[in-house]
Amino acid sequence: MGIASYGLSIVEPASPGSVLSLIRSGEATTRNELAEQLGIARSTVVQRLGVLSAAGLVKQAGDAQSSGGRPASIFAFDEDAGLVVVGDLGQTGCHLAVCDLGARPLAEHTASLSIDKGPEAVLEWVKARLSELLDDLDRDWSDVLGVGIGLPGPVDFDTGRPVSPPAMPGWDGADVPSIFTDTTDCPVLVDNDARIMALGEHFAARANNPHMIFVKIGSGIGAGLIANGRILRGERGAAGDIGHVVVEPNAAEICSCGNVGCLDAVAGGWAIARRMGDIAPTPPDVVRLAREGHPEATSQVRRSGRLVGAAVADAVNLLNPTAVVIGGKLAEADEQVFAAVREVVYRKATPVASRHLEIALTELGHMAGVIGAAHMVIEHVLAPERVGDLLDRRSAGPVH
């Protein structure tokens, strides 16, 4: 037997993690169903359920209808068994939340933020605000099972480090998870902001869209890709970086990546703010004016919508998704932005790729990022092969 057989990916059908996984998905919720589906003895199921119940992860949720004899107890995952804390960080704003294990936000905080203050200042601030949110709920870090952070640039998911992010000075290679080690020993996961939004939209609103492109139009422009129901990260975390698709090769603007005419450099919130000068010096000013119907601001954001549409049409031809979902503050500022994206995509994408394509505004709105980050963490810590670690930590630490 090779050593790889002992790797984490080998999950015992009889492990508590496998039992929990079936209960969470609803595929099996009674002792008999669990024993049957896992092909293990009923007595083993009873023992595993005992371990999971003692750790607070599983609870009894009533009885199944029975045609005779004793009704079978139904088991359910207890979404109150712990918390995840998450931060959706953009270039100029952030949204923080404490969520239960069903990815429901229990406490939230939104604030403006300058990502260019660098990783230490930004993340220490984020950590302090998350501690305050836990305080507000009368909870603390010992209740937290995992941390999820979204950042506006390419991120190497395996290490949690940003990779040459053009719009985040000082963040290249920063060890984001290490900032949290003095506070918690639970997993800290870091991913791109548009990617966590794509995850949120997928899990919470569009589980039936196996192939999806989520486009965030904000201070910068990025995209998260879902293929075959799975998030696509690419070799170094740069998949979906639609902001650096060249849409205006003759543009005057040089992009932060060094190229000319990137989507981000001609259509992102910062690009518009630079063009508008003193009238709207930052992306939040652009959003505010567009909301108020300011003629130049609305004309600029709609122009951005058309340029985004051109880049998205290419992505649609490449990936043939079932849905394109548009989000981000610039898109939410004026409904005509979405209309412009939609019009250009249907006009420019090939008929075969666009025939059954749905183009929609995000259903989760500004919640997409934190809900997606919560799902990212929950799916990670409750993956069957990691439930054993979680049970070890629960028996070692305080149990609530």
**Long-range contacts from 161-164, C-beta under 8 angstroms, 24+ separation:** 161/190, 162/190, 163/236, 163/237, 163/238
Compute the least distance from the CB of residue 221 to Zn ion, in Å: 10
**Least CB distance from residue 372 to Zn ion, whole Å?**
24
Strand partners, 88: 95, 150
Q: Which strands make up the sheet holding 230-232, listed edge to edge?
A: 230-232, 221-227, 212-217, 323-327, 358-361
CB of 287 to Zn ion, least distance (A): 22
Paired tokens of 112: 């403006």
Q: How many residues does the chain have?
A: 400
In the bound state with Zn ion, the residue whose beta carbon lies nearer, of 259 and 317, is 259
Q: Shortest distance, CB of residue 268 to Zn ion, whole angstroms?
A: 10
In the bound state with Zn ion, the residue whose beta carbon lies nearer, of 61 and 254, is 254
Measure CA 319 to chain center.
20
Please state the closest distance from residue 255 (CB atom) to Zn ion, in A: 3
Q: Considering Cα of 322, then 369, then 141, then 123, what sign does the dihedral take?
A: positive
Measured from the CB atom, is 23 or 262 closer to Zn ion? 262
Question: CB 307 → Zn ion: shortest distance, Å?
Answer: 13
Q: Closest distance between Zn ion and the C-beta of residue 227, in Å?
A: 24
Nearer to Zn ion, 242 or 316 (CB): 242
**CB-side exposure of 329: number of CA atoms within 13 Å?**
25
Strand 323-327 relative to strand 212-217, pairing: parallel
Task: Enumerate binding residues for Zn ion (CB under 5 A).
Answer: 244, 255, 257, 259, 262
Compare residues 99 and 255 and give the one whose CB is closer to Zn ion: 255
For the chain, give me the number of helices (H) and strands (E)?
A: 14, 14
**3-class state of residue 91 by DSSP:** coil
CA torsion through residues 157, 158, 161, 163, sign: negative
Q: Tokens for 177, please give them.
A: 């998870």
Nearer to Zn ion, 82 or 153 (CB): 153
Our CB check for Zn ion shows the closer of 167 and 189 to be 167
